[in-house]
Amino acid sequence: MKKLIAYCGLDCEKCDARMATLNNDNSLREKVAKLWSEMNGVKITPEMINCDGCRMDGVKTPFCNSLCPIRQCALSKGCETCGDCSAMNGCQTVGMIISNNAEALSNLKSKDL
């Protein structure tokens, strides 16, 4: 599975936070911080929008680095992604992503990414 597929199946190559990091795009950081703040009901600053990818070495957003329950679970189980976990289909933790994102579920089920 390609390394830019996150533990939850989302494609980090399509993530605006990663794009802002790669391109050092401060206006995109501001846009993402505003959107994510509104979506999550918490204050997210543009300075927090730095990420090389969930499973990549390098910088991560504070949420992805230490707060994401999906990433923490996969790391604790030693799974490359949730697709490697036998409990994925009934898992409420990753279920919040894959129930609303068919592409993420497809990425987790695909073995040739």
For residues 91 and 32, give the distance between their C-alpha atoms in angstroms, rounded to a whole number: 28
- What pLDDT digit, counting tens, does each position of 59-101 carry? 999 999 999 999 999 999 999 999 999 999 999 999 989 999 9
> Helices marked H in 1-113 — which ranges?
16-23, 26-40, 62, 69-77, 92-98, 102-109
- What pLDDT digit, counting tens, does each position of 32-58 carry? 999 999 988 999 999 999 999 999 999
pTM: 0.87
For residues 74 and 14, give the distance between their C-alpha atoms in angstroms, rounded to a whole number: 21
